[in-house]
Every structure is written in structure tokens, then in C-alpha cells.
């Protein structure tokens, strides 16, 4: 059984995740935060996403430890500063991916209506939720088509034939992105998204015990970080 969280819970989890990443006292806490997010992805029905996310972050952590132990001087400072930024952003990006993949546009609009969020903010976010999966789907179609022509969207493929890679892959994806944006905007306006009246929602959302439990878990993790920093000082 998949865990299905309220969209308001997901937005609050992103806020808590940002705070956890900001106040993280060490690399161990960062890895624990990413592991917690991977666990959330696992119970949300995204096992491959969870495994891939934790594996990539393990490589980043190993590379960070190697840089701090082997490098010295300016190179060490540059790499450690860059990797520090990666560590702060990675957990938030991973959680945002889960939110986008598991949130339907109707549920999101219903949650924004409940929170009395202005439409100037709601409409762009709702279009974005539908836009990113559409572009991802087009990207897979273009990659599969170009493989038949022996063109691959990889670093090695770009180095072998840069002009061919750009013309056959990146130009079509930019064209598809522009077309998808126009189509989604037209569809949203046609469905009355600019209607000034308060919209009604067919989707029923409410906070359940699972929502409060997940919020409590992330809040407890943030409290543990703050407590550790206070004790360490």
C-alpha cells in the first residue's frame, strides 16, 4: 500500500527539509536526511527513485571525504565549497522530485484553494507540475528516436559529434518544450483557470494520521540537529 500525503503536507515537508539542510551540523546528518527522504520515496511507491537517490548521494559523500583527505590548497577549497553547496541542495531537490511525481494538479489546486493562496502564484505552480512530466516524456521519445540514428545524449556522444547531438536532440527538445508550454497555457485558460470566482474541487483532500506522523518525523529530525549544534557549542 502506497503512502499518499496531502499536498499541504508535502509543501510543509519541503520547508522543513530546507531548514534541516540549512542547520545540518555534519555530513552524517546530511546523509541521514537523504536516507529519510529515500525512505519516504520508498513508501510512496518510488523504490527505484529511492535507491538511485541514496546511491548517488553516497558517491558524493565518498568524493567529499576523499577531497578533504587528499587535496590541499586552492583546489581543496574550491571543491569543498562546491560540494558543500551540493550537499545543501541535494536533499531538497530529491524531496521536490517526490512531490512533483506524486502530486496531481487537481490535488495541488485544491490544497492551494484551502490555503487561500493567490492565483498569481497558484497558476504558474500548477502549470509547472504538468509541464515537467510532459517535457520528461518528450525527452524519452526523442532519445529513443535518435538512438536509431546512432546519436546518443551523453558526454561522450557530444564530444564525438557535437553538431549532430545539438541538432538532433537539444533543438527538438527545446522546440517540444516551447510547444508544450503553449498547449498547457491554452488548456488551462480553456478550463477557466483565470475565473475570478472561487473554484470548486472534485478532489477531496484532508490531513490524515500519516501526514501528521511524517511532519512529526521531519520536525524531530530538525530538533535533533538544533540540539546537537547547541550541545556541541
The dihedral built from the CA positions of residue 76, 78, 79 and 81, taken in this order, carries a sign that is positive
Q: Are residues 193 and 208 in the same domain?
A: no
Residue 116 lies in a domain: no
- Give the position of cell 483557470: 193
Q: What is the pLDDT of residue 121?
A: 75
Give Cα 94 distance to the centre of its chain. 5
Residue 230 lies in a domain: yes
Residue 8 Cα distances to 109, 117, 160, 203, 223, angstroms: 11, 12, 47, 14, 21
d(CA 113, CA 146): 43
Residue 109 lies in a domain: no
Predicted confidence pLDDT, tens digits, the chain (233 residues): 688 888 889 989 999 999 999 998 888 999 999 999 999 999 988 999 999 999 999 999 998 888 887 877 787 788 888 888 899 899 999 998 898 888 887 777 777 777 777 777 777 777 777 777 777 787 778 777 777 777 777 667 667 777 777 777 777 777 877 777 777 777 767 766 666 666 666 666 778 898 899 999 999 999 999 998 888 76
Q: What is the pLDDT of residue 20?
A: 93
Q: Are residues 36 and 76 in the same domain?
A: yes
Q: Are residues 226 and 197 in the same domain?
A: no
Residue 37 lies in a domain: yes
Q: Are residues 1 and 85 in the same domain?
A: yes
Q: What is the pLDDT of residue 93?
A: 92
Q: What is the pLDDT of residue 179?
A: 79
Residue 117 lies in a domain: no
Q: Are residues 97 and 177 in the same domain?
A: no
Sequence-ordered list of residues with C-beta below 8 angstroms from that of 93, at least 6 positions apart, any chain: none
Q: Are residues 144 and 156 in the same domain?
A: yes
Asked if residues 43 and 2 have their Cβ atoms less than 8 Å apart, the reply is: yes
Q: Are residues 92 and 13 in the same domain?
A: yes
Residue 112 lies in a domain: no
Q: Are residues 64 and 84 in the same domain?
A: yes
Range(s) of the domain holding residue 182: 130-202
Residue 150 lies in a domain: yes
Q: Are residues 72 and 52 in the same domain?
A: yes
Asked if residues 88 and 19 have their Cβ atoms less than 8 Å apart, the reply is: no
Q: What is the pLDDT of residue 200?
A: 62
Q: What is the pLDDT of residue 42?
A: 92
Q: Are residues 8 and 99 in the same domain?
A: yes
Q: What is the pLDDT of residue 202?
A: 64
Q: Are residues 208 and 161 in the same domain?
A: no
Q: What is the pLDDT of residue 16?
A: 94
Q: Are residues 68 and 78 in the same domain?
A: yes
9, with CB counted inside 10 A (0-12, 13-18, 19+), is: buried
pTM across the whole model: 0.76
d(CA 109, CA 115): 10
Residue 18 lies in a domain: yes
Count of structural domains within the chain:
2
Residue 149 Cα distances to 9, 201, 224, angstroms: 45, 46, 54
Q: What are phi and psi of 45, to 5 degrees?
A: 90, 25
Q: What is the pLDDT of residue 49?
A: 92
- Cell representation of residue 132: 515537467
For the chain, how long is the longest CA-to-CA vector?
62
Amino acid at each position: 500500500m502506497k503512502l499518499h500525503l496531502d499536498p499541504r503536507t508535502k509543501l510543509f515537508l519541503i520547508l522543513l527539509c530546507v531548514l534541516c539542510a540549512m542547520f545540518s551540523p555534519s555530513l552524517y546528518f546530511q546523509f541521514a536526511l537523504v536516507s529519510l527522504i529515500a525512505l519516504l520515496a520508498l513508501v510512496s511507491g518510488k523504490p527505484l527513485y529511492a535507491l538511485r537517490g541514496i546511491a548517488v548521494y553516497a558517491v558524493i559523500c565518498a568524493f567529499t571525504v576523499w577531497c578533504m583527505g587528499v587535496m590541499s590548497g586552492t583546489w581543496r577549497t574550491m571543491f569543498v565549497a562546491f560540494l558543500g553547496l551540493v550537499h545543501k541542495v541535494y536533499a531538497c531537490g530529491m524531496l521536490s522530485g517526490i512531490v512533483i511525481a506524486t502530486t496531481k494538479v487537481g490535488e495541488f489546486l485544491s490544497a492551494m484553494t484551502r490555503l487561500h493562496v493567490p492565483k498569481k502564484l497558484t497558476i504558474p505552480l500548477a502549470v509547472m507540475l504538468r509541464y515537467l512530466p510532459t517535457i520528461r516524456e518528450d525527452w524519452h521519445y526523442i532519445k529513443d528516436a535518435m538512438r536509431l540514428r546512432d546519436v546518443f545524449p551523453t558526454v561522450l556522444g557530444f564530444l564525438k559529434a557535437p553538431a549532430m547531438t545539438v541538432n538532433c536532440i537539444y533543438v527538438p527538445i527545446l522546440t517540444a518544450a516551447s510547444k508544450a508550454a503553449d498547449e498547457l497555457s491554452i488548456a488551462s485558460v480553456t478550463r477557466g483557470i483565470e475565473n475570478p470566482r472561487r473554484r470548486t474541487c472534485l478532489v477531496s483532500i484532508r490531513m490524515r494520521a500519516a501526514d501528521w506522523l511524517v511532519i512529526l518525523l521531519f520536525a524531530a529530525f530538525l530538533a535533533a540537529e538544533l540540539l546537537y549544534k547547541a550541545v556541541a557549542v
